Structure 1
């Protein structure tokens, strides 16, 4: 496969986001370009195939160690989507709130634990994400998510999946500006 010599045009809006520094923007554009166009979706594969990358170590450091505001980045992403007719929220749209268990093998992964997986019909080791997703007849895209974590001990207050869903709804209404429609 030929190397990817430039960022995809879909990454251009990242240049206008205030949540990322110049270098963080370059890493984000590398990562998004690699996820969309590279054959290998690993950090090493993306760094090898997307030539503007500054190496897999720099890209990995961006993803795991850089200090950036994920919520602000997500808000800017959602604002960008509202600028375009094909992705703008519609009164015919739906916001879906659900959770998914992603099976994992690593015991040291943040939030990993034993969760009941409805598709398997039994508990599995993994991570559980509660998320909101927008869909209408033109488009579908994620809005927000929270990782559900079980309390380590009985003395700890455990935030439920419903609590996380309420947090997401409040954020979408108050901070992101998702319109409220009534039936």
Structure 2
């Protein structure tokens, strides 16, 4: 594959975000460009194919070690989406709250454990995310997520339940992000899927 010599235009809004420094912005633009256009989606593959990347070490450090506010970055992303008709929230849109198990092999991954996977019909090793997803007749995109972690048997502190994580997301969407809507509950993997009809 030919090398990618410049960032994709879809990364331009990152230049206006306050949540990232100049160098962090360059790494973020590299990563997004690589995920969209590189043949290899690994950090090494992206650094090899996206020429502005510099080195895979710098890109990996950005993802794993840099101190940046991911919530602020996500809020800025959602604000940017409201500037475009095709991604702006619609009165006919829905916000779906659900959870999903991402199968993994690493035993040391944060929050990794044995979780029941509804699509597999059995417990699998992975990470469990509770998330909010916006959808309407013209677009769909993620809004926010929380990682669900099981408490160890020897831990006294009880980890947040999936319902509590879902409530955190709903509060964030209503109070911090300003997503309009009323939430109701229907059946789903959480024992309920929260929806907001605008």
| Same-fold call, TM cutoff 0.5 | yes
Give the TM-score band, short-chain normalised: over 0.9
> What residue in structure 2 maps to residue 110 of structure 1?
110
1:30-179 paired onto structure 2 within 5 Å = 30-153=30-153, 155-179=156-180
Superposition misfits of 4+ residues, deviation over 3 angstroms = none
> What residue in structure 1 maps to residue 185 of structure 2?
none
Once residues 48 and 161 of structure 1 are traced to their aligned partners in structure 2, the CA distance between those partners, rounded to angstroms, is 39
SS of the residue corresponding to residue 171 of structure 2 reads helix
SS of the residue corresponding to residue 52 of structure 2 reads coil
Once residues 89 and 102 of structure 2 are traced to their aligned partners in structure 1, the CA distance between those partners, rounded to angstroms, is 28
Structure 1 position 15 matched with structure 2 position 5: no
Please state how far the C-alpha of 1:158 moved relative to its aligned partner.
2.4
Deviations 1:114-157 (A, max 9, x none): 11111111111110000000000010000000000001235221
Aligned length: 183
Q: Whose relative contact order is higher, 1 or 2, with alpha carbons under 8 Å and at least 6 apart? A: 2
The worse-fitting range, judged by mean Cα deviation, of 153-162 and 142-151 is 153-162
Once residues 121 and 38 of structure 1 are traced to their aligned partners in structure 2, the CA distance between those partners, rounded to angstroms, is 34
Once residues 110 and 127 of structure 1 are traced to their aligned partners in structure 2, the CA distance between those partners, rounded to angstroms, is 8
Q: Which runs of 5+ in 1 are unaligned?
A: none
Once residues 34 and 124 of structure 1 are traced to their aligned partners in structure 2, the CA distance between those partners, rounded to angstroms, is 29
CA-atom RMSD in angstroms: 1.1
Q: Which runs of 5+ in 2 are unaligned?
A: 183-196
SS of the residue corresponding to residue 175 of structure 2 reads helix
Please state how far the C-alpha of 1:180 moved relative to its aligned partner.
1.6
SS of the residue corresponding to residue 52 of structure 1 reads helix
Once residues 95 and 180 of structure 1 are traced to their aligned partners in structure 2, the CA distance between those partners, rounded to angstroms, is 9
